[in-house]
Structure 1
Amino acid sequence: MPGATTSPSDIDEGVRTEAIYNNTSVWIEWKHPDPSGPPQYDGGMDPKIHARVRKLAALLSKNNRTVRFRAPFCRGYFIDQDEGRFGLVFEKPASVPPETAPTSLHTLIRAANTPGSTVEVPSLTDRITLMKILAETVERLHAVDWLHKGLRSTNILLFPKFPRKDSGGEDEEEMNYLAPYISGFDYSRPATSDDMTERPLENPAADIYRHPTVQHEGNREASLGGHRENYKPSFDIYSLGIVLLEIAHWKTIDQILSIDLESPRLRPKDTWAVRERLVGGGGGAGGEVVRGKRGGEETFEVRKELSGATVEGVVRACLEGPRAFGLDEGCDEKREVVAAGLQRAFGEGVVRKLASIKV
């Protein structure tokens, strides 16, 4: 996409890069095709992936849809031939100063748990409202047969409200938790697509948010027989459940479960077992998770007073999947009647329940 300029030192720092496009402040999100996919000997891109990126850019370039999906407006995309990747170009909200970069929900949560930090935990009202908005967004995305495939707190972006003065007269930024933007549509695809699911890159920090059957190949137990399921709506819902759990406690999932993602001792089974630790064996989710022992086994109990029984039930339903919504565990979510049933049950059991909470 001609006209977009970035700093060379920034371009390798991660999946999100600040840039200028036609004198407008934007950011670029990078999409790296699966390195295990079919080789492109001419130096080009896999046509199927290219087509998917083109459709995604079109989806996110229509104002009515970006509002519905809480997505930033997409100005288009380009191919970075040198690095073998696509770049999606996103516009910042008009109300945000050009020099203001987005901050991820993950960063804000971790900052609030850092000793000496001035970042505060948002009010319960703001947290519940944020949960409602995210659940509604997933519902709307699935309603047009699109899957996100990368829902996690690093891909939920926030901007500050108008700066205010602190007691010392210095500018103080207060985050606007009521206007989140959903980002990181790296591996999105139509829910009805019959293409082989594009595999996520190996990354424990991302795998910890994914349903165990779609984590990186190394994170699947032998009991799964090496089978990788195609991505489906209930996997997005699972990832949403992890994010809602984080918002309820205002701790990241690795902090909640005491998983050191930087440890050299970290093994694939540590992220693969997250779902079992949260919902298996009668454990709970949605309030403050407390490690304990029951019958010699480690369990996770819930202090419901932190977020209430409604939030606990919503999070548990998201993590449990189809059975919590009245469907068979192995149901074919591509079938129209099944997809419609899941969408309806998710709306009633998650979106409407969160909307009913009065704080």
Structure 2
Amino acid sequence: MTEKPRFDPLQDIYRHPHAQSSHTDGNYRKCYDIYSLGVVLIEVALWNRIEDIVGLANLSTAKPSTLQGLQHWLLGKSFTRKGSSLPKIPGAGPCLQQLDSACGKVFRDIVECCLTVDAVEIPEGVEQGSTAVLRIQRITEQDIVRRLESIQVALGGCSRDSIS
């Protein structure tokens, strides 16, 4: 049984907005883990902690409303909610633009996919549960894992198939 986590900005910054302590319904969704992977990939790509990338000087004092806006900020979208205050960072462009400059379009697209996988649309009249799981699995395999492998191969590493 999943328990609702207590508020902890140091952990919530990695959680999908619907999985953060202030908003979770206690239900697990695979897309929440994929979102967290996207946040970690941003840190690796930009060689910085996520709180520094978004300009939160003191993460431990961040309000839930600020952390709720993180996904929108990372995607370069506007987000306004009472109490939300992600700062403007002088000289820093939108996060995805920074990734494109630092690591290229393929890596940028992988991260964007991770951050938006929860937006997978299910066609009308189709059973929500199983179809959503299958679509997220396909996106994970094709749009994330295979693209990361292509980067690995391009950098001179070996693919998963050559290891087996």
Q: Give the structure-1-normalised TM-score.
A: 0.35
Match of 2:4 among 199, 204, 225: 199
Q: Does 1:350 align with 2:144?
A: yes
CA deviations 1:181-205 (Å, max 9, x no partner) are xxxxxxxxxxxxxx5x311122100
- Determine the structure 1 residue equivalent to 2:68: 272
1-structure distance, mates of 2:45, 2:138: 24
- Cα distance change, pair 352–210 in 1 and its aligned pair in 2 (3 A): same
Stretches of 4+ moved more than 2 A in 1? 260-264, 290-293, 332-338
Residue identity in the other structure for 2:10: A
- Determine the structure 1 residue equivalent to 2:35: 238
2-structure distance, mates of 1:229, 1:247: 29
Mark the runs of 5 or more structure 1 residues left unpaired by the alignment.
Answer: 1-194, 221-226, 283-289
Higher relative contact order (CA 8 A, sep 6+): 2
Per the TM alignment, residue 263 of structure 1 is displaced from its structure 2 partner at its CA by 5.7
**Counterpart contact for 1:211–1:239, Cα < 8 Å:** yes
- Cα distance change, pair 352–263 in 1 and its aligned pair in 2 (3 A): closer
**Counterpart contact for 2:55–2:89, Cα < 8 Å:** no
Per the TM alignment, residue 216 of structure 1 is displaced from its structure 2 partner at its CA by 1.0
Decide which structure has greater strand share: 1
CA deviations 1:264-309 (Å, max 9, x no partner) are 5x32222121111111528xxxxxxx9469xxxx961514231111
Match of 2:108 among 289, 299, 312: 312
Decide which structure has greater helix share: 2
Q: RMSD over aligned Cα, in angstroms?
A: 2.9
Give the share of equivalent positions with the same residue, in percent: 30
Question: How many residues align structurally?
Answer: 139
**Counterpart contact for 1:204–1:271, Cα < 8 Å:** yes
Matches within 5 A, 1:1-359: 195=1, 197-217=2-22, 220=23, 228=25, 230-262=27-59, 264=61, 266-281=62-77, 291=89, 300=94, 302-303=97-98, 304-323=100-119, 327-328=121-122, 335-357=129-151, 358-359=154-155
CA deviations 1:91-126 (Å, max 9, x no partner) are xxxxxxxxxxxxxxxxxxxxxxxxxxxxxxxxxxxx
Mark the runs of 5 or more structure 2 residues left unpaired by the alignment.
Answer: 79-87, 156-164
Per the TM alignment, residue 333 of structure 1 is displaced from its structure 2 partner at its CA by 9.8
2-structure distance, mates of 1:246, 1:198: 27
Bigger Cα Rg: 1
